Each structure stands twice: as structure tokens, then as C-alpha cells.
Structure 1
Amino acid sequence: MPPLMKLAAITLDCADPEALAAFYRQVTGFEPHPKSDGDFAGLTREDGLFIGFQRVDGYRAPSWPDQAVPQQVHLDFAVDDFDEAEALLLALGATKPEYQPNGERGRVLVDPAGHPFCLTGA
């Protein structure tokens, strides 16, 4: 039986859609969506998967790992080399929180808008 739904889009709230789209473009290699504007930016993959970034007035970044401000979204990225991926992501503007719950099986980083995301083994 084929799946009932196919994931078509993921949208993240943020204060600066264009800046966050630029960060994830460098990370994923997705192409900019032609209908991006100042309040919304998007990236697309060849198979049609879309990642959107929408401006939210008064945006408050998640406060991971505590939940005073919830995560809102959580992305996982499979990587071949944790150290290499982490170094690149930190150079692009991600940060690494002190709390790392997965030991050697994965790493948690935070994007420039404060969304936590994970690196997992490929």
C-alpha cells in the first residue's frame, strides 16, 4: 500500500527569513524558491521537497534543552563525518549547546534563528 501522504514542505518561523534560508541553502544545497520575498523565503530540492522560512513578529527563539520556549520544529540531517559537518555548520553560523544527549550517536546544533537540529550517522 503506498503512503497516504508525501512530505511536501517544512516551514520554520523566524525573525529573518532570507538570512535563515541562506544558512540552510549552504547546509543542504537546495535551490532558492523564486517566490521568496522579505517576509517569506523558501528552498526547494530537485524532488520537490520545500523548506520555507516565514517572518513572525516578536519571534522568540526556542530555549533548548529546557522548554520555556518550545522547539517549534526539529530537523535531523544524516552526515558521514560528525566532526567535519559540525565544523562547517559552526563556520556558517550554527552554535553548539553544551547539553548533548546522544553521546557518540549524534550531535545537537542550533541554527542562527535558535532552532535546534541534529546530526545523525548516515
Structure 2
Amino acid sequence: MRRDALRHRDGAKPPIGPVLDLYGVHYVPNHAGWQPILCPIHDESRPSCTVNLDDCYFTCHACPAHGDVWDLVMLKESCDFREAQQRVAAITGETAATTPAGAAISGPGYLPRYRRSGGGTHARTVR
């Protein structure tokens, strides 16, 4: 099952705002487009991360962290996609869409590019 299929009933991704609230990240709730925030993955005093509440996507310009609401939870809580999906559902008050046991989310052994293990040139780890 493709990860894009795991959306709310109305076709939108789960909101990223409640997850940012849980991690204590300050943002402007009604801001349209990209806005600067402190990166929830690493400690910093000046914002190096941006978030788009409409697209439910974040990207840090100081570390390789980026992705959607599920990537944020996977990076912050060191869990796999299924656990992140359940945690996001609990945070937002929605029921988690489920995938059949053993089904790949978006390709073989889906993990964001910066979380894969191994010695290739694309292997990066967020610390």
C-alpha cells in the first residue's frame, strides 16, 4: 500500500499542528504557506526549520530532517511507521488507517532516506 493512500476520510493528511504542540514547538496557527520554527529534532536557539501547515510538511535547513507528520513522529520518537501512524491518530483523535501485516508502505522496507542504515552515500542518521 502506498503511503499516499493513508489519508483522512476527507483526503487530507493528518494535521501537523497538534504534533508540533505536543513537542512544544511554537508556530502561528493561521499562517499560510511556509513559516520558520525551531527544529523539533535538534536543539537550537534560532529557527532553522520551516513548516507548512497546509501541506503538513516540515523541513530543517540545518539537519537532514524533513517530511510529513509521520516522518516527524518517527524521527522524534524513534519508532517505525506503524507506531507513528498510531501515535499520530492518538494525538489528533482520529482512527489510524491500517495496512495488511507485512505490506510495504512505499516500497521495500520503507524508511526515509536519512534513516536507512548501511554504508552507502545516501545513508545519513539524524542525531
Does TM, scored on the shorter chain, surpass 0.5? no
Q: What TM-score do you get using the length of structure 2 for normalisation?
A: 0.34
More helix by share: 2
Q: What TM-score do you get using the length of structure 1 for normalisation?
A: 0.34
More strand by share: 1
